[in-house]
Structure 1
Amino acid sequence: MMFLKKISATRARACVRSSITPLGSERISFHEGCGRILAEDVQALCDHPPFDRSAMDGYAVLAGSTFYATPENPVRLRKGEEARRIMTGEPIPSGFDAVVMIEYVEDLGDEIRISRSVVPGENVALRGEDFRQGEIILRKGRVLLPHDIGTLVAAGITKIKVRRSPRVGIISTGDEIVDPARIKRWNGAERGKIPDINSYTLSSLVGGAGGIPVRCGVLKDDPDVLKSTIKSYTGFDLLLITGGSSVGDRDFLGKVIDELGELLFHGVAIKPGGPLGFGFINNTPVFILPGYPLAAIVSFELFVRDALSIMQGLPPKIPYESLTAKLLRKIPSQVGRLDFVRIKLINEGGDLYAEPLGSGGSGSIGRLSKADGFLLVDEPLEGIDEGETVTIYRYPGSQEVRA
Structure 2
Amino acid sequence: MSGDRHEAGFKRQASVDAAREQLRSLVEPVDRTERMPTEAAGGRVIAAEITPKRPVPHYDRAAMDGFAVTAEETVGASERAPARLEAAESMGPGQAVRVHTGSEMPDTADAVVRVEDVTERTDGLAIETAVTPGENVAPTGEDVAADTTLFEPGDRLRPSDLGVLKATGIGTVPVYERPEIAVIPTGEEVVESDPGPGEIVETNGLVVTRLVERWGGDPRYRDIVTDDQQVLADAIERDLDADVIVTTGGSSVGERDLLPEVLAELGDVAVHGVAHKPGHPVGFGSVEETPVLMLPGYPVSALVNAVQLLYPAVAWAGNREPADPPTTAGELTRKIASEPGVRSYVRVRHVAEGVEPIRSGGAGVLSSVSAADGWVVVPESQEGIEAGATVSVEDWEWSP
Within 5 Å, which residues of 2 pair with 1:340-379? 340-346=345-351, 348=353, 353-359=354-360, 361-379=362-380
Q: Equivalent residue for 1:401?
A: none
Q: Equivalent residue for 2:88?
A: 79
Paired residues, number: 386
- Alignment partner of 1:279: what SS? strand
Task: Calculate the aligned-residue CA RMSD, in Å.
Answer: 2.8
Q: Which amino acid aligns with 1:240?
A: V
CA contact (8 A) 1:78 1:110 kept: no
Residues of 1 paired with 2:66 and 2:366: CA distance? 61
Give the TM-score normalised by the residue count of structure 1: 0.85
Q: Equivalent residue for 1:183?
A: none
CA contact (8 A) 2:244 2:292 kept: yes
Distance change (3 Å), C-alpha of 1:78 and 1:11: closer
Which of 32, 38, 45 aligns to 1:37? It is 45
Residues of 2 paired with 1:343 and 1:28: CA distance? 43
**1:7 Cα offset (Å):** 1.3
Distance change (3 Å), C-alpha of 1:95 and 1:110: farther
Residues of 2 paired with 1:149 and 1:288: CA distance? 37
Residues of 1 paired with 2:304 and 2:110: CA distance? 62
Q: Equivalent residue for 1:209?
A: 215
Q: Equivalent residue for 1:338?
A: 343
Within 5 Å, which residues of 2 pair with 1:167-186? 167-180=180-193
Distance change (3 Å), C-alpha of 1:200 and 1:71: farther
CA contact (8 A) 1:171 1:216 kept: yes
Bigger CA drift: 325-334 or 367-376?
325-334
Which of 60, 66, 78 aligns to 2:68? It is 60
CA contact (8 A) 1:360 1:367 kept: no
Q: Which amino acid aligns with 2:65?
A: D
Distance change (3 Å), C-alpha of 1:228 and 1:174: same
Give the TM-score normalised by the residue count of structure 2: 0.86
**1:126 Cα offset (Å):** 0.5
% same residue: 36
Which stretches in structure 2 are left out of the alignment for 5+ residues? none
Residues of 2 paired with 1:216 and 1:143: CA distance? 28
Which stretches in structure 1 are left out of the alignment for 5+ residues? 181-185, 399-403
Residue deviations 1:169-195 (CA, integer Å, cap 9, x gap)? 111112332325xxxxx6x7x444332
- Alignment partner of 2:312: what SS? helix
Distance change (3 Å), C-alpha of 1:24 and 1:300: same
Q: Equivalent residue for 1:126?
A: 139
Residue deviations 1:242-293 (CA, integer Å, cap 9, x gap)? 0122233322222122222222222222211121110112211111111111
- Alignment partner of 1:331: what SS? coil
Residue deviations 1:328-373 (CA, integer Å, cap 9, x gap)? 322222222221111223455xxxx432212461121221122222
Q: Equivalent residue for 1:327?
A: 332
- Alignment partner of 1:375: what SS? strand
Residues of 1 paired with 2:86 and 2:284: CA distance? 79
